[in-house]
Structure 1
Amino acid sequence: MNPNLVFSPSPYSQYMRETKVKLENGIELHIEVGGNPEHPCILLIMGLGGQLILWPDFFCKSLIDQGFYVIRFDNRDIGLSSKISDSPRHTKHLLNMMARFSVGLKNQGAAYTLEDMADDVALLLDQLEIANCHLIGASMGGMIAQIVAAKYPEKVNKLGLLFTSNNQPLLPAPGIKQLKMMLSKHPLQEDEIIRQNVLLYQAIGSPNYVNVEEVRLFARKAYLRSYHPNGVLQQLLAILCTGSLKHWNQQIQQETLVIHGECDRLLPPKHGRVVAKAIKSAKFELIAGMGHDIPPHFIPQLSGLFAHHFKP
C-alpha cells in the first residue's frame, strides 16, 4: 500500500478507512479500505449507479475476518469520485440503443466506455502500489472486472463475478421496467428517491428478503452522501457503447467463479451461465432465492464461496 496516502475513519463503516486517490488519467476515485494490508487483497467493483456503500458492511467485514484486505470504491461519475462534466448525450435514443445493443450492433456517443472504467481500476492499483489482487465485480462492476482480468492479467490473481453479464448478442433482455427505475431524466427530491428505491428493490431484489425499512434508510444515506443521476445515465451509455465482452472473456486465464441469483429479474440467470461458459474453466454457482442484490441472509454463503475461491 502506498505509504503517502492519508486515511481517515469511514463515516459509513467502523471497519473501513477512507481517502481519495488521483489517477494518472485525471480521474479522482474515493476509496475505502479495511483489514490488514499485509493480507491478500480483494478489490470490489460495484455496478450501475452503485456507490461503494452498496457493498454491505457485513459483506466487507466477513471477507476481512476470513483473512483478506478489502478495498471498495466509487466508480467515476458516482458517489464521491470525479464527475464527468458533459451532460449525457443521446438519452432520448436509449430504447433504440438498447435494441441495437441486444442484437450486437455498435452504438456510439458515450463520454467513456467500460474499457475506460477498467483502466481506472488498473490505475488505482498502480497508485495504491498493489501489484496484484483478487477482483469481485457485481453487475456492471462484473463487466468491468472481466475487462480488467483480460487486459491487465498481471494485476489480477483470481476473478469473482456476481450477477453480471458479458452482453453478448441475443441474451434475455434486462428488465426494462426495472432499468427505468434506476434512471431519472430530472432530479428527484429525497422522498421521491426513497420511494423509487423501495419499488426498485421490490422489483429486482431477493423476493423473500427485501426489508423495506432498511431500503428506506439506505436510500436516504446514499442520497445524502451523493446524488448524481447524470452519472447513472453516463454509465448506462458506457455499457451500451462497449457492447459484447465475449472477446475479453476468451482472453481471461485466471481462475474464475461466477455467482448468480436464481431470482434475478434484472439480469436473468442465463447471463451468468453464458459468462461462465465463455471463460476457460470458470465455475458457476446458482443461489436459490437470491435476486439482483446482496441481502444479509445470503452474505455468509456469498463471502464463503468467494473466500474459498480466492484462497490458495
Structure 2
Amino acid sequence: MPTTPPSADGIEIWYTTDGDPSGAPLLMVMGLGAQHQEWDDELVALFVDRGFFVVRFDNRDVGLSTKPDVGDLDVGAAMMASLGGAPVEAPYLLSDMAADAVAVLDDLDIASAHVLGASMGGMIAQTLAIEHPERVRTLTSVMSTTGAQDVGQPTPEILGVLLATPPTDREQAVERGVVVANAIGSPGLVDEDKARQKAGAAWDRCAYPPGTGHQLLAIVASPDRTPGLRQLDVPTLVIHGSVDPLVTPSGGEATAAAVPGAQLRMIEGMAHDVPPVHWPELVEDVVALATGADVPAAG
C-alpha cells in the first residue's frame, strides 16, 4: 500500500483506498491511538455502495505511518501538569496531523473531499476544515469536541482508563481492548469478541503504545478551535452519543453551536463508539450532507 512522500519533518503517512476513484472522495479520519482499520471494512463497504471513493489512513504515531522521534517524554507527568493548569509541550499538534491528511489528498491528486472524523479524528477534521477549507467539501464530526476546556471533558473514571499503563505484550493489549470497549462503548451493544479480535489485529499489525500518549499531548496542547469553527463556510454535521463518557455530549453540542448552519444529531443511548446498529443512519446522514439535503431527524 502507498505512503505519502516524506514531509519537511520526515513524516510519511500510510493510506489505503476503497471504491471507484471516479466516485465522490470520502476521507475517514480515525481517533486516538487507532489504526485505519478501526473504520470497519463492512462500514466502508456501505459507503462504497453509495458511490464514495473511501480513503483511510494511519495517523502519525500509529500503524504503518511514521513514528516521530520525540526523545525522553513523560506523557503521564505532562498530563497531570495540564490538569493543574500548566501549559503542555507536545511533540506535534493537531495542525500537523491535519497537514498529514492534506498530504494524503495530495498524493491521490484529490483537490477536495468529504471529511468524516471520529473522536480525535473529528478534531483533526475540524482543524483541516479551519486551516485548509478549500480541501473540505463537507465536514462530519463524530463524538468529538471543540477543544474548549469547559465542554466535552471525560468523566473522571474514563480519564483513569485513558491514562492506565500501556500494554507491553499482545495478551495485555487484547485484555485492555476489552476493558476500554466496555468502559466507553454503548451500553448493551459492546461485542467483547470483536473487541478482542480488533485489539489483537492492531497489535499484530503494528504495536506502538507510546504513540497514543503523544497524540493525547497533541490534543491537550492544541488551541480551542471555537473561533475557527465560527468562521467555517462548509456544510457540517455533528453526530454524538447521548451517553458518551469519553467526550461528553457537551462537546458535540458546542461544536454544532459554533459552526454556522451545522446540523446536530444526538443519538440516544450511544456512547463513544458507533455500533453496527447505527451504521445505516450514519451512511444516510453523510450521503444527505454530501448531496445538500437536510439530515433526517433522529428516530
TM-score, normalised relative to structure 1: 0.88
Task: Please tell me whether the aligned partners of residues 144 and 152 of structure 2 are also in contact (alpha carbons under 8 angstroms).
Answer: no
Indicate whether 1:36 and 2:20 are aligned: yes
Aligned twin of 1:93: 78
Report the Cα offset of residue 19 of structure 1: 2.2
Offset from partner CA, 1:45-101 (integer Å, 9 cap, x none): 11111110101111111110011000000000011100011246242131221342x
Aligned twin of 2:295: none
| Pairing 1:76-225 to 2, within 5 Å after superposition | 76-87=60-71, 89-91=73-75, 92-100=77-85, 107-183=87-163, 185=165, 187-225=167-205
User: Secondary structure at 1:213's aligned position in 2?
Assistant: helix
Task: Please tell me whether the aligned partners of residues 23 and 124 of structure 1 are also in contact (alpha carbons under 8 angstroms).
Answer: no
Indicate whether 1:24 and 2:7 are aligned: yes
Aligned twin of 1:12: none
User: Secondary structure at 1:44's aligned position in 2?
Assistant: strand
Distance 1:73 1:20 in 2: 9
User: Secondary structure at 2:2's aligned position in 1?
Assistant: strand
Indicate whether 1:296 and 2:276 are aligned: yes
User: Secondary structure at 1:160's aligned position in 2?
Assistant: strand
Aligned Cα root-mean-square deviation (Å): 1.6
The 1:186/1:61 distance shift into structure 2, 3 A limit, reads: closer
Aligned twin of 2:206: 226
User: Secondary structure at 2:239's aligned position in 1?
Assistant: strand
Instruction: Give the gaps of 5 or more residues in structure 1.
Output: 1-17, 101-105
Task: Please tell me whether the aligned partners of residues 243 and 268 of structure 2 are also in contact (alpha carbons under 8 angstroms).
Answer: yes
Report the Cα offset of residue 262 of structure 1: 1.2
Q: What residue identity is the alignment partner of 1:96?
A: A
Report the Cα offset of residue 120 of structure 1: 1.1
Q: What residue identity is the alignment partner of 2:2?
A: T
Task: Please tell me whether the aligned partners of residues 167 and 173 of structure 2 are also in contact (alpha carbons under 8 angstroms).
Answer: no
Match of 1:264 among 244, 251, 270: 244
Aligned twin of 2:39: 55
Distance 2:157 2:268 in 1: 23
Q: Which runs of structure 1 show a deviation greater than 6 angstroms over 4 or more consecutive aligned residues?
A: none
The 1:88/1:168 distance shift into structure 2, 3 A limit, reads: farther
Offset from partner CA, 1:248-306 (integer Å, 9 cap, x none): 21221101000001121111111100000011110000112211112211111111111
Q: What residue identity is the alignment partner of 2:181?
A: Y
Distance 1:261 1:254 in 2: 23
Aligned twin of 1:306: 286
- How many equivalent residue pairs? 290
TM-score, normalised relative to structure 2: 0.92
Q: What residue identity is the alignment partner of 1:242?
A: S
Offset from partner CA, 1:108-142 (integer Å, 9 cap, x none): 32110011111111222122211111100111111
User: Secondary structure at 1:29's aligned position in 2?
Assistant: coil
Offset from partner CA, 1:154-196 (integer Å, 9 cap, x none): 1111111100000213225213432443445455221111111
Task: Please tell me whether the aligned partners of residues 81 and 87 of structure 2 are also in contact (alpha carbons under 8 angstroms).
Answer: no
The 1:128/1:76 distance shift into structure 2, 3 A limit, reads: same
Q: What residue identity is the alignment partner of 1:38?
A: S
The share of aligned pairs that are identical, in percent, is 34
Distance 2:219 2:105 in 1: 23
Task: Please tell me whether the aligned partners of residues 76 and 83 of structure 1 are also in contact (alpha carbons under 8 angstroms).
Answer: yes
Task: Please tell me whether the aligned partners of residues 259 and 284 of structure 1 are also in contact (alpha carbons under 8 angstroms).
Answer: yes
Task: Please tell me whether the aligned partners of residues 32 and 72 of structure 1 are also in contact (alpha carbons under 8 angstroms).
Answer: yes
Task: Please tell me whether the aligned partners of residues 42 and 70 of structure 1 are also in contact (alpha carbons under 8 angstroms).
Answer: yes
Task: Please tell me whether the aligned partners of residues 204 and 292 of structure 1 are also in contact (alpha carbons under 8 angstroms).
Answer: yes
